[in-house]
């Protein structure tokens, strides 16, 4: 199976857990890391590249196509996340970069690699899983560019669910707070936890559990599944 954005956090965890499950994992990543080195040691097939342009993504898609003649699933985890920049010029460049990662890269990879997705024995279809964010439905103004491009990915997921049925299921997982970024101060962290009914952060394992559940359900496509500790309820 293919997992994008595997150099850290959720992507790295997913890649290692699917290796634990006996899958042959193709791990796309941008920057080298200890997690990538461990994946290499475990036999994952690594594809380094950056989703900065359509041409760069096409190159990544071709490399994946060359090494993976068949895929059970594609998990689009690669993401860019930061507050919207203050000046219009900087925000415009950020918008383009986020669009490339969150929308154009999944579009190209899905289109190029869908013929490689094959069902398991029996009638089970292949899977494409897009990881978006609960902010795709209720955007935060300070992160409007991030939210808009994640919402675009979510809409794209629905389009692919229609296009690729019945041979391939296409679903979306919406993480809530899984980890804090360095710019989150103690006050903002406290506010996030206070606004989350389960009163704690989630974990990459929670996203893995949701991914496995989606893959196991043969009668689910076009679904949007929040994994957020209930945070969306209070926002």
Residues with catalytic annotation? Answer: 146
H/E element, 148: helix 144-164
Q: Which of 129, 148, 1 is nearest to 76 (CA)?
A: 129
- How far is residue 30's CA from residue 28's CA, in Å, rounded to a whole number? 7
User: DSSP string covering 16-83, please?
Assistant: HHHHHTT---EEEESS--HHHHHHHHTTPEEEE---SSHHHHHHHHHHHHHH-S-BSEEEE------P
Number of Cβ atoms within 10 Å of the Cβ of 178:
19
Number of Cβ atoms within 10 Å of the Cβ of 92:
12
Measured CA distances, 230 to 174, 183, 214 (Å): 11, 23, 19
DSSP label of 234:
G
DSSP label of 150:
H
């Amino acid at each position: 199976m293919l997992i994008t954005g595997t150099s850290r956090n959720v992507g790295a965890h997913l890649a290692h857990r699917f290796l634990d499950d006996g899958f042959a994992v193709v791990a796309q990543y941008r920057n080298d890391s200890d997690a990538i080195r461990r994946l290499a040691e475990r036999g994952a097939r690594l594809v380094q590249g950056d989703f900065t342009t359509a041409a760069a993504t096409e190159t990544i898609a071709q490399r994946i196509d060359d090494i993976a003649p068949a895929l059970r699933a594609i998990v689009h985890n690669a993401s860019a996340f930061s507050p919207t920049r203050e000046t219009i010029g900087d925000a415009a460049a950020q918008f383009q970069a986020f669009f490339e990662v969150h929308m154009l890269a999944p579009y190209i990879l899905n289109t190029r690699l869908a013929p490689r997705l094959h069902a398991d024995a029996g009638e089970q279809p292949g899977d494409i899983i897009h990881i978006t964010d609960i902010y795709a439905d209720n955007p935060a103004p300070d992160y409007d560019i991030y939210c808009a491009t994640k919402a675009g990915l979510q809409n794209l997921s629905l389009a692919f669910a229609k296009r690729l049925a019945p041979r391939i299921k296409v679903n979306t997982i919406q993480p809530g707070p899984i980890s804090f970024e360095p710019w989150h101060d103690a006050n903002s962290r406290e506010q996030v936890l206070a606004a989350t009914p389960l009163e704690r952060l989630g974990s990459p394992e929670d996203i893995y559990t949701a991914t496995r559940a989606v893959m196991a359900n043969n009668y689910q496509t076009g679904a949007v599944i929040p994994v957020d500790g209930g945070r969306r309820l209070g926002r």
